[in-house]
Structure 1
Amino acid sequence: MSSEPLDSDDSEPFVESDPTGRYGRYDELLGSGAVKKVYRAFDQEEGIEVAWNQVKLRCFSDDTAMLERLYSEVKLLKSLENSNIIALYKVWRDEGSNTLNFITEICTSGNLREYRKKHRHVSMRALKKWSKQILKGLDYLHTHKPCIIHRDLNCSNVFVNGNIGQVKIGDLGLAATVGENHVAHSILGTPEFMAPELYEERYTEIVDIYSYGMCVLELVSLEIPYSECDNVAKIYRRVSSGVRPEALNKVKDVEAKAFIEKCLGKPKARPSAAELLRDPFFDGIVDDDDDDDEQVENNENCGTGRIVS
């Protein structure tokens, strides 16, 4: 059977297509960061919406380190397969426009930061379910061979399929693969979420646990950590001195506060992702894989495709 679209009349409002003609990009911008823009796109073969990530390479023609980092993200994504990590479908370089393009799955509800702002009345049970899924994604990265440190985990880099309560870690542009000693050496990340040892340029994947703790704090408090600081220097001074963000004092749930504190502890005292998954904080929270199995069973003939699987 041919995989060509049934309608040869190119009536879809695509502004560009990939070299095979399978993926078409719309003009709708889903988000933009320091190095790339993300557009809504469509997979004509599968009949599903996807995300078209586009990087203008000419902006970095003199920055080989940045180019290597971009290619590294794509290489990393291609090697990963986990229900809590954004999946990559295709990548290519457009020589004519000098862009790097890659197609990833799209999460229908955007990033977790915006989703949480939109839904302010959320039970602690729901917050725990989201938090557990982030942790499962981290556990997958940290136990990957080689170990992968995300280094820029925050709520704007976690994405949501709100119709099934599924969250996925994305934006692996600053991720690092490390050797058997699990040690990395460069200073990267989002200041409010960076572990103190990141500034010392010698750290392990446990820095992601600190960032994860800050993510949980943001979910619970509805505040970005250290929002009381008006510049990066002040954040650095507080983080390096061990001063906790003011948002932590506003957390009324004793169990949640203790769990966050555990994630923000000194590097040697900080639990691994696997250990945190066994923490009493998640007692009674149904495993997300069980939820996925139930979802597949309930929607067996609904054509949900890769967006929700």
Structure 2
Amino acid sequence: MSPSMSKSEKQENKGGVLEISPDGRFIKYDEVLGRGAFKTVFKGFDQENGTEVAWYQINLEAGRAAASLDDLPKLAKSLLSEAALMKSLKHNNIIRCQHSWVDEDNTNVNMITELFSSGTLREFRNNHKSVNIKAIKNWAKQILEGLNYLHTRNPPIAHRDLKCDNIFVNANQGEVKIGDLGLATVLKNSGVATSVVGTPEFMAPEVYDEKYNELVDIYAFGMCMLELIICDYPYSECTNVAQIYKKVTKGVKPLALGNVKDPQVKGFIEKCLLPAAQRPSAAQLLKDPFLSSPESLKGDKCESGVRPSAVLPESNNIPQPDSQVSTSNDGSSYNKASTSSKASAAGMITSGPISILESLRSTQQIQLRLRGKRIDQKTVLFNLRVADLHCPVANCFEFLFDLKSDDALKIASEMVQGKDLTYGDVPVAVELMDSMLLELEPTWKPCNAYYSANNVASDCRELGSNWQLGAVVH
């Protein structure tokens, strides 16, 4: 390879060019950085500036199915609105969208953003267990600078899904930036938001009251600080989202907060978790003495791993692009609405109407609702909702099921490992998936060897009101 070969030429030789933007400025390489239920992130190159970029490709057909929307132009408009918001924000600690466009021929929306090779702050922190408190304070200042920028816009902008998964790192510069504004909202008129959205471990109590402002991001920032100290999600002692909801609404703090030994660290986190009327702003926290004191971290080591985040559905019918629910990057075959797709965006496009099937099953503790839709010859899009019958919250998952490589027991087991299902829920979830798969693919072989195809199918039909299987019109 010639030493004078350009960076672009080297990359082309390595990965190959898949696509070029309509204006000829951006190149998309055959190198996938991440996948979602209907979003794929590729490495790209900006030929004008000579820099690597992230090329997000959102499949509108799959996105519409996941969001139960009939109007593709409406979804495209929603995605472009997010891109427009990202373009309008100019701050060193907020990721900017450089360019976006709709590809009508392939039914997708493309967005070009900055590339962060070190990944998310959650990944980075868990890859580097020994971190001095000085580094964490540096990250905290940058996050607060970004939040202060959002919150002081006119009108203010609330991120609503701040967590270390949505904060990105440039490790060689010690730089962090807030990203993933899919749930961000502009607080117009009354300055109040009402949709119950976000990641439960990071959602402030007032979110559940459906009346809140930008200070919910400060609460979430406090939980981010706790995650950075303990290297685990807050409320990791909880086994499901209902338990988190009960603790948050009752004002019970995560158990891990009691394990934070440094009183200054603990006190700073507790300020962020105060009731909304007493909670400080980002500007006030930036002036807090804690962020200027150079003390080292004492005893607050990472001793446990991270786990996937849970999901709450929207309470209002407001279209949200590709992140109505939270995301995680744990590499599981399932994920909450926006990770771990196994099919390319182009491969998921189908023509003609696609029927959606629905099944319900109830136990004494929970109700499971499964919706399924055949996307192509080897892929099914599932939506599984696990609702606790004793409180008004639900765990909701969107994931693509590969008919050639996945099986229902594998997916359900991964949900147990992520603490999103209990072992007692597994048989119900497996039966739901297997029965629906038989409806969508007659040659499907159920996980349970003692079931024949006919037995499982007839069980579905015989369960009546507890397991209604049929087409659902959206």
TM class by smaller structure: 0.7 to 0.9
Q: 1:220-267 CA deviation, whole Å, 9 max, x = no partner?
A: 111111111111111111111111111111111110100000000100
Aligned to 1:19: 22
Aligned to 1:119: 128
Distance 1:227 1:76 in 2: 33
Select the residue among 18, 21, 39 that pairs with 1:36: 39
Judged with a 3 Å threshold, the aligned counterparts in structure 2 of structure 1 residues 169 and 132 are, in CA distance, closer, same or farther, namely: same
Aligned to 2:299: none
Report the residue type matching 2:270 in the other structure: E
Contact 1:14 1:24 in 2 (8 A): yes
Q: Which ranges in structure 2 are unaligned for 5 or more consecutive residues? A: 1-6, 295-474
Select the residue among 276, 281, 289 that pairs with 1:280: 289
TM-score, normalised by the number of residues in structure 2: 0.56
Q: How does 1:229-248 map to 2 (within 5 A)?
A: 229-248=238-257
Q: 1:71-127 CA deviation, whole Å, 9 max, x = no partner?
A: 331121011000000011110111111111010011121100000000110000100
Report the residue type matching 1:243 in the other structure: V
**Shift of residue 167, structure 1, vs aligned partner:** 0.3
Distance 1:180 1:42 in 2: 40
Contact 1:159 1:167 in 2 (8 A): yes
Provide the aligned length of Structure 1 versus Structure 2.
279
Distance 2:118 2:170 in 1: 5
Contact 1:51 1:106 in 2 (8 A): yes
Distance 2:75 2:150 in 1: 22
Aligned to 1:47: 50
Aligned to 1:264: 273
Aligned to 2:229: 220
Radius of gyration: which is bigger?
A: 2
Q: Which has the higher helix share?
A: 1
Distance 2:39 2:267 in 1: 37
Q: CA RMSD in A?
A: 1.9
Q: Which ranges in structure 1 are unaligned for 5 or more consecutive residues? A: 286-309
Report the residue type matching 2:213 in the other structure: T
- Aligned pair 1:75/2:75, yes or no? no
Contact 1:72 1:173 in 2 (8 A): no
Select the residue among 198, 202, 206 that pairs with 2:215: 206
Aligned to 1:167: 176
Distance 1:151 1:104 in 2: 20
Aligned to 2:194: 185
Aligned to 1:301: none
Report the residue type matching 2:229 in the other structure: V
Distance 1:250 1:32 in 2: 35
- Aligned pair 1:97/2:106, yes or no? yes
**Shift of residue 33, structure 1, vs aligned partner:** 3.9
Judged with a 3 Å threshold, the aligned counterparts in structure 2 of structure 1 residues 189 and 34 are, in CA distance, closer, same or farther, namely: farther
TM-score, normalised by the number of residues in structure 1: 0.86
Q: Give the share of equivalent positions with the same residue, in percent.
A: 52
**Shift of residue 282, structure 1, vs aligned partner:** 1.2
Q: 1:268 aligns to what SS in structure 2?
A: coil
Distance 2:158 2:38 in 1: 20
**Shift of residue 68, structure 1, vs aligned partner:** 5.0
Q: 2:106 aligns to what SS in structure 1?
A: coil
Distance 1:32 1:247 in 2: 31
Contact 1:138 1:273 in 2 (8 A): yes
Q: 1:110 aligns to what SS in structure 2?
A: coil
Q: 2:207 aligns to what SS in structure 1?
A: helix
Structure 1 stretches of 4+ with a deviation exceeding 3 A read 32-35, 64-69
Report the residue type matching 1:44 in the other structure: Q
